[in-house]
Amino acid sequence: MLAYIIRRLLILPVLICGVTILIFAMLSLLTPYERASLYVQDIPKRQGAIDDIIHKYGLDAPIHIQYWHWIVGRKDLTSGEVKGGVLRGDLGWSKVGKSPVVEVISRRLPATAELALWAAVPMIGIGIWLGVLSAVHHNKLIDQVLRVFSIVGWSIPTFVFGLLVLMIFYAKLDWFPPGRLSDWASQIVYSDAFTRYTQLNTVDALLNARFDIFLDALKHLVLPVTTLAYLNWAYMLRVTRSSMLDTLRQDYMTTARAKGLTEREVIWKHALPNGLIPVITVGGLILIGLLNGVVITETVFNYPGMGSFLAEAALSLDVVSVLGVTLFSSLVLVGGNLIVDVLYGFIDPRIRLH
């Protein structure tokens, strides 16, 4: 198992290098004048100032030198210090966030992480359970109902379902408001009387023993979590059902039954572990997508996470912010795929032998 993990870790630097090359290639489509905005908050008005910035940061240098400066930074001609560089966390200045891109990501990421964590458990757990239930009762009434459920869920666009639940449960019933916190709760959370340990409102509220704020934060999470969970339940159900049906038809399932095992033991101890490989792939990619920011869901519910920031940056033509978030998301995707690969090895010993 250790050799399998080491092989996967050795591939990681190659993948990251490829990701940075692709991101820099997109960045290189901009002119040196446009890329100068990476290094300044406001373009100076003095004539020739932009040309000075281009020369200072080597934006007119050969492409491979520019890539090296973008990754590791560039030596300042005046002070002699090495400044900037992706490895030092310099992703440029965000015009939308009015601060460095890294700071905006650090502010927005906890909100998206909180949404992802609350959505992941029902989304993956219930999706797998429904998929197993559908496969076990193949072609029976419950299977037919769940298949209709999955088709409807997979067919409805995210923004349509989000707007529908928003109109019913907020506009009409006024139960679950959009946003992340109510005004009164925000004043308390961002005051000196409230300690923000994790930046996750529900967790911090419990750590501060403020159950009223916990309930308020939870109330704001209900609709976006329901939207993400329902639409992804359908996908998880379909994948789990298909994988389980294929596994239940294998000869070793017949052998397990012939040995006198109960149907429950056959399904949960033998069939499910062998049918989890495609489910882990799908579940891992869905969770990574949630951590990277769900653009449509966060925009519909006015939720201040990574997805809504990316939408604001794109609408404002803030190229620096878009590329910075893209690089961050790509690194999360690469790391997430590594974790999924390692999980493969734990679940199926045959994989780690290749």
Does the structure show a pLDDT above 60 at 44?
no
Cα–Cα distances in Å, from 280 out to 52, 109, 243, 341, 352?
Answer: 52, 24, 11, 9, 16
Q: Identity (one letter) of the amino acid at 324?
A: G
The answer to whether residues 6 and 103 belong to one domain is no
If we measure between CA atoms, which residue out of 240, 236, 296, 291 comes closest to residue 118?
A: 291
The answer to whether residues 65 and 123 belong to one domain is no
Does the structure show a pLDDT above 60 at 352?
no
Helix (H/G/I), strand (E/B), else coil: 311: helix
Instruction: Kindly report, residue by residue over 253-264, the tens digit of the pLDDT.
Output: 778 778 877 777
Domain hosting residue 24, numbered range: 2-93
The answer to whether residues 292 and 342 belong to one domain is yes
Helix (H/G/I), strand (E/B), else coil: 227: helix
Residue 305, class by beta-carbon neighbours within 10 Å (0-12 exposed, 13-18 middle, 19+ buried)?
Answer: buried
The answer to whether residues 212 and 243 belong to one domain is yes
Average pLDDT of span 225-234: 83
For residue 311, what pLDDT band results from cuts at 50, 70 and 90? confident
Cα–Cα distances in Å, from 106 out to 37, 103, 173, 199?
Answer: 21, 5, 35, 10
pLDDT value, residue 350: 62
Extract the tokens encoding 37: 């905005």
Does the structure show a pLDDT above 80 at 236?
yes
Instruction: Kindly report, residue by residue over 108-156, the tens digit of the pLDDT.
Output: 989 998 998 888 888 888 888 888 888 888 888 888 888 888 888 778 8
Least confident piece of the model among 131-135, 295-299, 317-321: 317-321
Does the structure show a pLDDT above 70 at 48?
no
CATH of the domain at 295: 1.10.3720.10
Candidate ranges 59-73, 216-230, 334-348; pick with highest mean pLDDT:
216-230
Last-in-domain residue among 46, 63, 93: 93
Does the structure show a pLDDT above 70 at 14?
yes
Does the structure show a pLDDT above 60 at 43?
no
* CA–CA gap between residue 158 and residue 199 (Å, rounded): 27
Cα–Cα distances in Å, from 56 out to 40, 64, 71, 313?
Answer: 12, 17, 16, 27
The answer to whether residues 178 and 53 belong to one domain is no
Residue 132, class by beta-carbon neighbours within 10 Å (0-12 exposed, 13-18 middle, 19+ buried)?
Answer: buried
pLDDT value, residue 342: 76
The answer to whether residues 7 and 147 belong to one domain is no
Instruction: Kindly report, residue by residue over 169-205, the tens digit of the pLDDT.
Output: 998 888 999 888 998 999 999 888 898 888 899 999 9
Domain count along the chain: 2
* CA–CA gap between residue 211 and residue 42 (Å, rounded): 44
The answer to whether residues 26 and 156 belong to one domain is no
Instruction: Kindly report, residue by residue over 270-290, the tens digit of the pLDDT.
Output: 777 777 777 777 777 787 777
Residue 102, class by beta-carbon neighbours within 10 Å (0-12 exposed, 13-18 middle, 19+ buried)?
Answer: middle
Last-in-domain residue among 42, 65, 93: 93
Does the structure show a pLDDT above 70 at 347?
no
Does the structure show a pLDDT above 90 at 75?
no
pLDDT value, residue 188: 92
The answer to whether residues 194 and 343 belong to one domain is yes
Last-in-domain residue among 35, 64, 93: 93
Q: What is the DSSP string of 208-222?
A: TT-HHHHHHHHHHHH
- Pairing outcome for strands 74-75 and 82-83: antiparallel
Please state the pTM of the whole predicted model. Answer: 0.80
pLDDT value, residue 204: 92
More confident site: 291 or 40: 291
- Pairing outcome for strands 74-75 and 99-100: unpaired
